[in-house]
Every structure is written in structure tokens, then in C-alpha cells.
Amino acid sequence: MVSLRRGAALAPMAGATDKTMRRISAEYGAVCTVSEMVSAKALTMGDKKSPRLVLGAGGDAPYGVQLFGHEPDVMAEGARLLLALRARRPDAAHFDFIDINMGCPAPKITGPGAGSALLKTPVLAGRVARAVVDAVAGEVPVTVKLRIGWDEATMTGAEVARRCEEAGVAMLTVHGRTRQEMYNPGIHAEEIAHVKTSVSIPVWANGDVASVQNALDLLRMTGCDGVAVGRGAMGNPWLFGQIRAALAGEKVPEAPGLCERLAVMRRHVSELCEDKGEYIGMREARSHAAWYLHGLRGAAALRRMCCGMEHFEDLDALIACVWRYQHDEA
């Protein structure tokens, strides 16, 4: 059983939800975090980079490692390898649950039959879920993140959810779009609600939550047990605490002022460089910095500066520029 406080979880995002983002999200109130997706096949082939994607919860919140693949035996072996890594390196590689990716729309994932392609093959989706549940043998719970269907004609979310529940999956997160809809604006809350009423395990709703009001609306419309936030948390970890406070009936904290926003951005980039080295850290910091600066005056010029950052000092030049823009145009 996955037992989470009512609130907002950090949704898995390849290229974004690394250890640094998980750490900051957990600190600011995410009730759980999930790694970037890792290929079960790559794990079984001894790929050295894959374990690095999932090492380190990066915070105190329950942490899940996300696996993708479509072959039940390979997924089972991938799960066993993750558990072995966790046992070998309890400090560095601890995780609390394994999440199966049944939502990724990218052709390189769906082509072979993984990610959201599993929605086209509900029986196989159930077998994948059962294989992973059996492989972990109760050591950690298994969860699944899925979409509502493959396309309008293949609305299999509820069926896949039922098969996952029968297989022993402990919790589901439902992204309210079909694969065909990719990330187009607008989600189908009623389809998430349909999945929720089709199973008795906890279901978390996902899609387009960028404010407390969005979260409250989505929970009201779907009857779900919590929300998972992806893009809305980029450069905005404060959203987690705001949603948690609203759900607990407490006063919702104000959005941060510019000083705090820049301080957390600086910390985020500094920790990225610590975790990955300055060369990779600063390249990955470009998009994170742009998210933190979203909506500020001079956004286009600031974004261009973000794209050119190579060294940590460039971030301080960017911050000075942010202040100049806000004063010049005040």
C-alpha cells in the first residue's frame, strides 16, 4: 500500500525531475517524488548511465523510481536489478516504490510497445504489471502512471487500470489525455473520474495543474485522492506547499517575492552543478533558470541569457540583469 498525505506529488519528467528537482520539490511540500523514467532493457544490459538517473531520493518525501518497457520478463528483471541496487547501496539508492510508465507518448518509447502503447494492449499491460509486482515480492509497492487511452477510439484507461489493480498494483496516477493528444492544452477530467470509479486503489489525477485552484477543481471533478504536478512545478516548487495548505484547510502561503525566487533558482543551479559537475549542470540549468524567470519583465531577453549560460558566474550576471530589468521598467 502506498500511503501518502493528501496533497500534490511531483510527476515524473525526463530531463527535469532529477535529484536536485526532487530534493527542492520535497522540501517545498511535494508529498512524493518520482524519478525520470529508466529503461528496464538498459538496466538488464548493464547500462551504466541508467542507475545514475534514479540514484538518490533527494529529500524526505516518499520516492518512486519509474521503469519503462513492454516485455514482462525484462520489466521483472529490471525491477529486481533496482531492488538489488537499493540493497547494495542503501544510502545512495533508496527508493520507496516502483512506478511503471504507461503514459509516455514519445515514438521511440511507444514504437516497440512501451509507455502509452501499452494502452493499445491492455492484456499485455496487465501482464507487465503482474510481472513487476511478482518480481518485487512485496518488498516495495508498485504503482502505474497511465493516460486515459491511446486515442479517441481506444479509451482503455479504465480497463488497463482494472487489470493493474488485479495484478496487485497499489496506486495509479492518471494523466487526463490520450496519447494522440500528446500535451495539447485541456484535459478530460471526466475520463480520469471514470478510471477512479473503476478501481478501489488510490488514484491521483494529473494534467495542467498550475495553481491551487486548478488542483482543487481537478480533485472536485475527478474525486481522486491527490494530484500529480508536472510542468506547473517547473521553476515553481512553492506550488506544492500551497496545494497542501489548501487541502489541509490552512492559509495558503503567498507566491514568493522576487528575492526568494532568485535565491531558490540560484540554489537549484548550484546544486545541479554539485550533483552533475559544472559542464552538464550549467547546460541543464538553462531550462530550469528560464522556468524560474517565467513571467518576469524582459522575459525574452532573459531567456536568451539563460540559453547562453556556461559557467556558474553567468548565473550571477543573469540575476543582476533580472534586477536591472525589474527596476528600469518599474
The set of catalytic residues is 104
- Which is nearer to ligand FMN, 56 or 232 (by Cβ)? 232
Containing 88, the helix (H) or strand (E) segment is helix 72-88
Taking alpha carbons only, the member of 86, 74, 88 closest to residue 43 is 74
In the sheet with 97-102, reading across from the earlier edge strand, the strands are 8-10, 226-229, 203-206, 171-178, 142-149, 97-102, 63-68, 33-39
214 within 8 A of 187, measured Cβ to Cβ: no
Between helix 299-307 and helix 278-292 the angle, nearest 10°, is 170
Cβ of residue 146: shortest distance to ligand FMN, in angstroms? Answer: 9
H or E segment to which residue 98 belongs: strand 97-102
What amino acid is encoded at 164 in this protein?
Answer: C
State which of residues 51, 230, 235, 281 lies at the interface with ligand FMN (CB under 6 A): 230
206 is an interface residue for ligand FMN by CB under 6 A: yes
| Of 201 and 322, CB closest to ligand FMN | 201
For the four alpha carbons of 256, 261, 263 and 267, in that order, the dihedral sign comes to positive
Q: Is 208 in the site for ligand FMN (CB under 6 A)?
A: yes
Check the CA dihedral 20-26-31-32 and report its sign: positive
State yes or no: residue 16 binds ligand FMN (CB under 6 A): yes
Does 162 contact ligand FMN by CB under 6 A? no
Site for ligand FMN contains 66 (CB under 6 A): yes
Region binding ligand FMN by CB under 6 A among candidate stretches 25-33, 89-97, 201-209, 289-297: 201-209
Assess 14 for contact with ligand FMN (CB under 6 A). yes
In whole angstroms, what is the distance from residue 286 CA to residue 273 CA?
Answer: 12
Interface with ligand FMN, residue 167, by CB under 6 A: no
Burial (CB count within 10 angstroms: exposed 0-12, middle 13-18, buried 19+), residue 308: exposed
Q: Which span (5-13, 249-257, 267-275, 285-293) binds ligand FMN, by CB under 6 A?
A: 5-13
Q: Does 64 bind ligand FMN (CB under 6 A)?
A: no
All three cell numbers of 328: 528600469
103 near ligand FMN (CB under 6 A) = yes
Task: Give the amino acid at 50.
Answer: S
Of 39, 101, 143, 178, the one binding ligand FMN (CB under 6 A) is: 101
Asked whether 216 and 245 are in contact (CB, 8 A), the reply is no
By beta-carbon proximity to ligand FMN, the closer residue of 16 and 93 is 16
Which one of 76-84, 90-98, 100-108, 156-164 is the stretch in contact with ligand FMN (CB under 6 A)?
100-108
Nearer to ligand FMN, 215 or 322 (CB): 215
User: Phi and psi for 222 in degrees, rounded to 5?
Assistant: -110, -20
In the bound state with ligand FMN, the residue whose beta carbon lies nearer, of 145 and 262, is 145
Q: Is 175 in the site for ligand FMN (CB under 6 A)?
A: yes
**DSSP of 304-330:** HHHHT--SHHHHHHHHHHHHHHHHHT-
Regarding 159 and contact with ligand FMN (CB under 6 A), the answer is: no
* Under rule CB under 6 A, residue 37 binds ligand FMN: yes
- Residue 179 in the binding site for ligand FMN (CB under 6 A): no
What letter does residue 232 receive in the DSSP assignment? G
Query: Total residues at the site for ligand FMN (CB under 6 A)?
Result: 22
What does the binding site for ligand FMN look like in residue numbers (CB under 6 A)? 11-16, 36-37, 66, 101, 103-104, 145, 175, 206-209, 229-232
